Structure 1
Amino acid sequence: MENRRPGLERPGNDLQMSVTEMNGDDTLARLAKVIESRKGGDPDKSYVARLFHKGHDAILKKIGEEATEVVMACKDGERPKIVGEVADLWFHCLLALNAYGLAPADVLAELARREGLSGLEEFAARKSQQRDKDGS
């Protein structure tokens, strides 16, 4: 069965969305609010409540499964499938953030902090901070 998601039925199969078409910060914040509102609900009626009811390990297991599905979709090279699987992974990561008392804004702030750094510089800075923290 093919994933049908808004935004994927675009002319020329162009999956790129401009900032004016979608604000990711707002979408993630709205989704985080929905997760918060459903996590204590009836596990028989809400997927979110069911995963929270099963505990952190169930959420973490789903993240592992979804990450594997992202890899497989990428290997298949089907762009709509990749987008769908990444959306599933992000959703389950939002569940994990909530479970550990974090919000999408925390991740977005970290990404903003890293913006403009080369990946190698950022990695070296993290390693240095970890060494300082460990007392090495």
Structure 2
Amino acid sequence: MHPIDRLAATIDARKSADPDTSWTAKLLSKGPEKAAEKFGEEAVEAIIACVKNDRENLTNEAADVIYHLAVMLAARDVAMSDVMDELTRREGTSGIAEKAAR
């Protein structure tokens, strides 16, 4: 199983966990808006690490971004598999062509 799949499964399992014992459950209990806010915070931290050319911190922040993206998706009941399917659909398509088709 791919780490992204394991992450999504863990987040899904934590939806019903006690928010006092699970960070994921705590985020989800605060609603999609809080999940989106945390995703945004982590994205900004990743951007800063990139601009500073801090490879180690960028790696850590990128992992945080992926985790918080997965939580945000779960908060809106968007399956990670749907996102992966969309990426697969886009394979072999120029980004310019894909944007023009929207």
Contact 1:97/1:104 (8 A) holds in 2: yes
Matching residue's letter, 1:119: G
Q: For residue 105 of structure 1, what is the aligned residue in structure 2?
A: 81
Aligned residues: 102
The Cα shift of 1:104 comes to 1.7
Which runs of structure 1 show a deviation greater than 4 angstroms over 4 or more consecutive aligned residues? none
Structure whose CA Rg is larger: 1
* Structure with more helix by fraction: 2
The Cα shift of 1:53 comes to 1.1
* Cα RMSD for the two superposed structures: 1.2
TM-score using structure 2 length: 0.93
TM-score using structure 1 length: 0.71
The Cα shift of 1:51 comes to 0.6
Q: For residue 122 of structure 1, what is the aligned residue in structure 2?
A: 98
Q: Aligned to 2:51, which of 60, 71, 75? A: 75
The Cα shift of 1:79 comes to 1.3
Q: Which runs of 5+ in 1 are unaligned?
A: 1-24, 127-136
Q: How is 1:31-110 mapped onto 2 (pairs within 5 angstroms)?
A: 31-110=7-86
> Using CA pairs below 8 Å that are at least 6 residues apart, which structure has the higher relative contact order?
2
Identity %: 43
